[in-house]
Structure 1
């Protein structure tokens, strides 16, 4: 068993880390701003900023709780609602200040519906919007909002083949509203250190964010952030472009990513005393390489290759080895992630 798992990680890590460096500037290094030490914020999984305050949610939970933090990571307030979510994983903020909680976690892939919870900071409770996938359950930890407020869900896939979904129409209350797949994003493994599950961590999508002006979209794994240009605010189109990769090395269990209004990228993770880190000027990195990235879009070496739903395929492992490794590697990862 140990030999098989070692071979699995070796082959996974041997997949091309990508040609992103040939079309992007050197990544900005994230630096620590402060540490989250409040014992109520033990599993920080979603984060957003309004420029003056940060809003954070824990992974899971039995009630709606959004923690309002100042710039020193101190909790100043807690926004609540009388709703019992199943597994909250991410947080987004609309231009009008509305907070959207992604109750989309499903480690066991057994939920008939997932949900988005709409929360006004001024109060009034949470509005529930149930959603259904067109192809069965998925574990999802990343939520993106476009300029119009349309939500996009990006799945967490052990092979790095994340699927992208959005509602087929206006959100019903409580729903469910059907989702449709708009594309997929293949995340290649990297050598960035961090995360709780070894080499797997660099391909698992654990969070998402959209810049304040809607022109940059970010996805993160346990170890890296990927920034996609969305000059027209189109999230689906943005995820088809070649991204800029920003390593987020050393995060114990990094699951949260957010943009400050000035384009600074924030990252954070689970655990008492973990830092909120900032990559200054991160959003500006996607503008310069955009034209070059378009010319290299067809290259399969991209670290964050995106495809339409019809462009299926798996990482190029030998078929027999792949089948064996998936069985044993999947078993191991499910055990590791069961309570993540």
Structure 2
């Protein structure tokens, strides 16, 4: 219920800017979830042939493996019930990170990520679990991302007035809590995120829009409106750079979009090396400069000429008068 209230608040907060905002890219329906047990798709991973998702809070520990027809071809389950599963991130071939990161009341001492195997089969496992702690205070979070080049995990808090991007240690310990560190300003009402395959960009979505960021600078490059969904809480970038969106609701659609060309151009421009700065001019001169950086001598010379001409004219007038 709280998520729906926040979703409405987020949508209302966008009203002022929607008049001038560019239209959302058209979403193509890739498939609809056929499994009646998938009722609140909250995280999404696209591997190419398969899609992975989890239900929002209230479900047990399980990951659904879905093919491109929307049929569930496998389910991975584990015994321990999570507190609030909200997110997924790729963990390498045949494995996925599951983020037990939700905390609507902001009262958890720590959050947990689990490394879960998956496949086109039903299986019960005991996944490796790692405890993460924030460096400041408890946060609600629905976004877990993994850099495809390094495997490092990132969590984006879900806050009303802009979240925070937190980086987990590159090497996680299962024996003690792993303290994260804040590395950038996040996206308001962030509900999911995903790295692009190049590892140099990632995208974070909210209910109505998304933002693209650079890596490792965590600079917000551009934003894009998203197709309308009932409660969009899943986003994944596939190996082909295509972007997939999921939403809560039974038998809901998974959409595919392309980034608008101007957003793609902004991303490409951010990858270009900075232009070489022009060589500094030789400042070893005898001329002084004013506050605007212009030399004073032309102005002084002009004033001198005007003064000389005026003085000569006055002297001539006096000579004629005498």
TM-score, normalization: structure 1? 0.68
Report what 1:210 is aligned to. Answer: 195
Q: Does residue 1:278 correspond to 2:256, yes or no?
A: yes
Q: What is the Cα deviation at residue 20 of structure 1?
A: 8.6
* Alignment match, 1:155: 157
Q: Distance in 2 between matches of 1:90 and 1:10?
A: 21
Cα shift at 1:158:
1.4
Q: Distance in 2 between matches of 1:19 and 1:139?
A: 31
- Equivalent residues in 2 for 1:80-159, closer than 5 Å: 80-121=77-118, 124-146=125-147, 147-159=149-161
Structure 1 SS opposite 2:132: strand
Structure 1 CA distance for aligned equivalents of residues 145 and 262 of structure 2: 19
Displacement after TM superposition at 1:62 (Å): 4.8
* Contact preservation (8 Å) 1:62, 1:86: no
Q: How far did 1:294 drift?
A: 9.3
Q: Is the 8 A contact 2:24 2:227 kept in 1?
A: no
Q: What is the aligned length?
A: 259
Q: Distance in 1 between matches of 2:268 and 2:177?
A: 40
Distance 2:189 2:154 in 1: 17
Q: Alignment partner of 2:234: what SS?
A: strand
Choose the corresponding residue for 2:56, options 41, 56, 59: 59
Distance in 1 (alpha carbons) for counterparts of 2:257 and 2:38: 22
Post-superposition Cα deviations, 1:138-187, rounded to whole Å, max 9, x if no partner, equal: 0000011112111000010112x1101112452111531111111113x4
- Show the counterpart of 1:298: none
Measured in 2, the distance between the counterparts of 1:227 and 1:35 equals: 26
SS in 1 for 2:221: coil
Q: 1:9 to 1:162 in 2, by over 3 A?
A: closer
Judged with a 3 Å threshold, the aligned counterparts in structure 2 of structure 1 residues 98 and 165 are, in CA distance, closer, same or farther, namely same
Matched residue SS, 1:289: helix
* 1:81-131 Cα distance to aligned partner (Å, 9 max, x none): 223211010101134342001110000000011011111226752111011
Equivalent position of 2:320 in the other structure: none
Is the 1:32–1:278 contact (alpha carbons within 8 Å) kept by the matching residues of 2?
yes
211, 222, 242: which one pairs with 2:221? 242
Distance 1:227 1:64, change over 3 A: same
Q: For 1:279 and 1:152, how far apart are their aligned partners in 2?
A: 24
Question: Structure 1: which 4+ aligned runs deviate by more than 6 Å?
Answer: 8-11, 17-21
Root mean square deviation, CA, Å? 2.9
Mapped pair 1:76 → 2:61: no
1:135 CA drift (Å):
1.0
* Aligned-partner Cα distance in 2 for 1:132–1:179: 6
Partner of 1:198: none
Q: Distance in 2 between matches of 1:86 and 1:11?
A: 29
